Chains A and B, each alone.
Chain A
Amino acid sequence: MSYIDRRMALFAVGTVVAATVVFAHAPVSAADAVRIGLALPLSGAAATYGQDLQRGAEYAAELINQRGGILGGRKLELVYEDEKGTPQGGVAAVQKLMSVGRVKAITGGTNSSVVLAESSVTKGRILQVNAGAQADAITEQGSPWLFQINNTVSLNSEAFNAYIVKTLKPKTVAYMGENSEFNKTVLEKLKESLKAAGIELLSASTYDAETNDFTSILTKIKASNPDMLYVADAYPARAAQLWKQVRQLGGFPTEVMSPGVVTPGMLKPAEGAMNGVYTGEIFMATDPGSEGKEFIENYQKKFNNLPGKGELVIFEAINLIASAMDKAGTDSDYGKISKVIREGAWPSPRGSLRFDEKGRARAPYFYIQRVDNGNVVQVERMKSN
């Protein structure tokens, strides 16, 4: 091999060695601490979500450790790994957390594809609590040590659609939404509920992520003039754009947005175009129930702004892991921990959470909201089941 090539080969080998060395000697502080691994998108497109979750997790761990930790005084230690918002990243992150980070449980999760990839690694090997990702598929196969904090898409849709057919009572509906992993479920659920209530779905238009001009779609929908427009899009700026274009066309009698996606980041760029739009959510920081008050106040004191849903669900995830381990009296007998989780009822800022056999928690309350000059206001607080 020529001089330079040999150098490059050596360099490559060198990096391998360096890498392994780095991984092998990962710092182990507080040997007795219970290490919990968080695979979060700390870089890439979803980095902002990752930072929200990190804040929420830190807060939860801090409170628990103030209370003296778990399992007789053992502190919680959070270990972060960047999952970069891609399945490959997720797999690498989880494996690194398990083998190098030597964590006792895995949590995190914002993107369903990523969590699905991760769950294939954790399945049968470690406890995983998916805080944010919503796809039903994640818990569909029902892996025994996998739990879900946030409502799945279908749970959200069922709650919200009930309100549509019982209260809003449109005669005809037109649907439009991004062709995304969970909008498919949203659309299926919508079809079911409307069919059951004898409401006609005039058209369902899905567009891909690159779309930002909705004139043609809206022109078409406008021509069929429905009582209600149902929009499903989780992407703040694009949704804002979409609603502006709806306004420019004069709008529709009733307008709703798929539940769980309306955020300040969407309302601000919409510049008032979303006023009057109905939506639903599992939690309302501006109007929490009695259970949430304390959490909200303390959180506001500490960070002087309201917690988002991301902060909330990861907060609940960390608490669930900690108190379940504490109650089960073990940090590694996952069969036992999982059994405890399934049997117990777990207090949270949203009220007490219960997990079904698939490991899903159903939000204790579901909030119907309407956008009113740039902010969401509560229309109704529905108790689940």
Chain B
Amino acid sequence: MSMALDETPAVSARDITKRYGGVTALNGVSLDVQKGEIFGIIGPNGAGKSTLFDILCGITEPSSGSIRIMGTEMRGIAPHLIARSRVARTFQRTAVFAESSVLENLLFGRQTSFRHGVLGRIIGSSTYAEDQREFQNLVEEVLALIGLDGERNRKAGVLAYGVQRRLAIGVALMSDPKIMFLDEPAAGMNGRETADFIALIRAIAPGRTILIVEHDMAVIRQLCGRALVVVDGKPVVVDEPHLVLRHPEVVSAYLGADDD
């Protein structure tokens, strides 16, 4: 990984290892993701991809290793603080706030940048008005991007699965993140939804660094400049997707894993 030495990488991890009791979930994983890159992480079920994600955005503490985001060490920093430093993450399951409307979901995505309090809300203070205006502009923008303009008052839980996925990205976008971690964002999407999704990612990519864990190789191939393969918690190869996919270990791993 020796490209663009002049720049500090957006995300850089040094031999991350994670053990649960006896089990070793991750073993010496390192990666450097440059600013503006769309970086894929692939591997069979239970290979430790999600664990790696959780560690990269601070939800889980690694047993050993170091994580730097924009050059600053992230170990020991609370996840919500990492999130506030314009790092966003979407989840495999529980992607959205199912009981709330699309608008409320986006509001929840924005909440931490609001400056007004309970009192401000009651008396309708000027900061409250400002917050409203900012949110209003942003929300229209995001709704347009994720194509949910007409659905704004629908309850998130009742939306089609693929649509929920797009909403999840929208929630992440509300904090205008510089770095985005997308955990199997296209899982369970049909062909058309996947196409829309790829377009969406392309649209939001400029000015952001995006990491994607994904099963669907088509997505990885079309979006990612580079991809890391993890098998049984060990890094196998980092390279351009089409090369990665021919790698013998990867092939065998997938053949092994696809029957579950």
Contact between A and B in the complex (any CB pair below 8 Å) = no
Q: Which residues from chain B sit less than 8 Å from chain A, CB to CB? A: none
Q: Which residues from chain A sit less than 8 Å from chain B, CB to CB? A: none
